Structures are given as C-alpha cells and as structure tokens.
Chains A and B, each alone.
Chain A
Amino acid sequence: SQQGEEDPQALSIQEGENATMNCSYKTSINNLQWYRQNSGRGLVHLILIRSNEREKHSGRLRVTLDTSKKSSSLLITASRAADTASYFCATGGERGNMLTFGGGTRLMVKP
C-alpha cells in the first residue's frame, strides 16, 4: 500500500513558470526522497531530505519538509519543457532501505 498521496495528480504549466508539488505521508519517517520518471523509464533521484531537516535546495529544485504535518513539497523554479515527467515522493522509515511511494504528480511543461 502507498504511504500517502501527492497533490496535484496532474499539473500543466507554461515554460518559465514555477511548479509546486505536494506530498503527504502517514507514518514517522527517517527521510524523504523525491524522484523524477520520464515515460517508461527508470527513476532519477532528485533530492533527499532527512527528518531533522526543513528545507533543501539543488539547482532549480527546492524541497521542504514539515514533519508535524507529515508533508513535503517540491518546487521547480523557471520550469523547462525538459522537466515534463512524473514526480514521486518516497519515504524511508525504519525498515532498512524500503521506500514507500506516493502516487506521483504528472507535470507537463508547455513550450
């Protein structure tokens, strides 16, 4: 079963706009990782944020984590057509490297 949900399920924006995706989860976590998946391909790791961190940046990506609300957000700034993909959050708990995934957000960036 999936840990939580991602919101929105689908998002369509114009190139240059910012895209924000949200992820909620249900149980306590050690970390939360965001991944990108292009159609039919594998998962590309974007960012890992530990449970004791509140915000992390990587290039045009900004991730926040609010453990009190059991939620995280991924912000992509100045989006490009190449950012078109599905984005997944995955939580890591206390069971080794087992990740529990959300349902994903399908992002379409129109040129």
Chain B
Amino acid sequence: KAGVTQTPRYLIKTRGQQVTLSCSPISGHRSVSWYQQTPGQGLQFLFEYFSETQRNKGNFPGRFSGRQFSNSRSEMNVSTLELGDSALYLCASSPTTGISGNTIYFGEGSWLTVV
C-alpha cells in the first residue's frame, strides 16, 4: 500500500506570491491533516479535513487555507507569502477521526522556501 504522498517536495517562492501544496492520503483513509514544521516553532497543527469538511483548525492566520476532495486528496494554500512561511509542510492521513486508537501516518513533506 502506498504511503502518504506529497507534491511538490521542494519549491521556492517569492514574498507576496501564493502556493498550493498537494497531498494524497493512504488508500482508504478519509482524514487528512496538515502541519508546519520550523526550527523555531517546531511542529504545529494547521488543520484537519474529514469527508471534505474541515474538522479542526490550528492557530494560523487566514492566509493558510485548505480543502479536501471527494477522493480524500487534499490541498493547502498559502496566500501572500511571508519569509516566515518558509518551513517543511507535512501532510498526515488516518482512516478515521476522533477515536483513541487512531494511528496517524505522515508523508515526506513539502519544503517551502520563501525569498
């Protein structure tokens, strides 16, 4: 079974631009979450989608948004990029949501550099 797949793996953007990152969850998984990892703030939760609905949202500005499609694939978008948005963005998938035994699997991440 293929793991969580994220594209692109690496990208460089200019301040003020926007970026879209893509995530394909493990087959059969319906929950997709996104995390940001930076040296200063560590790993921080962005949002979770389940059955095309946003279930939870972290403490990030509205420039960060996401969506989930009917096939469970997800995208996240960051508009008006700032230098501080440079980070590793990790996607995670899980079969379902809200149960105590839910193992959450991560992809390899997308490295975003804002210049």
Pairwise interchain contact A42-B98, C-beta atoms closer than 8 A? no
Taking CB atoms and an 8 Å cut-off, the chain B residues in 69-115 that contact chain A are 88, 90, 92, 94, 97-109, 111
CB-CB < 8 A to B107: which residues of A?
42
Pairwise interchain contact A99-B45, C-beta atoms closer than 8 A? yes
Q: Report if A84 contacts B (CB, 8 A).
A: no
Pairwise interchain contact A96-B104, C-beta atoms closer than 8 A? no
Q: Report if B63 contacts A (CB, 8 A).
A: no
Contact-size category for A: 20 to 34
Q: Report if A101 contacts B (CB, 8 A).
A: yes
Q: Which stretch, A14-22, A45-53, A61-69, touches the partner chain B?
A: A45-53
Q: How far is the CA of A44 from the CA of B31 in the complex (A)?
A: 18
CB-CB < 8 A to B43: which residues of A?
2, 88, 90, 101
Pairwise interchain contact A97-B31, C-beta atoms closer than 8 A? yes
The total number of A-B Cβ pairs within 8 Å is: 80
The residue on A at minimum CB distance from B94 is A97
Minimum Cβ distance to chain A for residue B67 (Å): 17
Q: Report if A71 contacts B (CB, 8 A).
A: no
Most buried by A among B55, B102, B111: B102
Taking CB atoms and an 8 Å cut-off, the chain B residues in 16-73 that contact chain A are 31, 33, 35, 42-45, 48, 50, 55-56, 58-59
Q: How far is the CA of A44 from the CA of B105 in the complex (A)?
A: 7
Taking CB atoms and an 8 Å cut-off, the chain A residues in 22-74 that contact chain B are 30-31, 33, 35, 40-45, 48, 50-51
Pairwise interchain contact B42-A101, C-beta atoms closer than 8 A? yes
CB-CB < 8 A to B108: which residues of A?
41-42
The residue on A at minimum CB distance from B59 is A1
CB-CB < 8 A to A43: which residues of B?
90, 92, 106
- A sample of 21 cross-chain residue pairs with beta-carbon separation below 8 angstroms, ordered by A number, consists of A2-B43, A31-B100, A41-B109, A43-B90, A43-B106, A44-B106, A45-B103, A50-B100, A50-B101, A51-B100, A90-B104, A96-B56, A97-B31, A97-B33, A98-B33, A99-B35, A99-B104, A100-B45, A101-B42, A101-B43, A104-B42
Report B's interface with A, CB cutoff 8 A: 4, 6, 31, 33, 35, 42-45, 48, 50, 55-56, 58-59, 88, 90, 92, 94, 97-109, 111
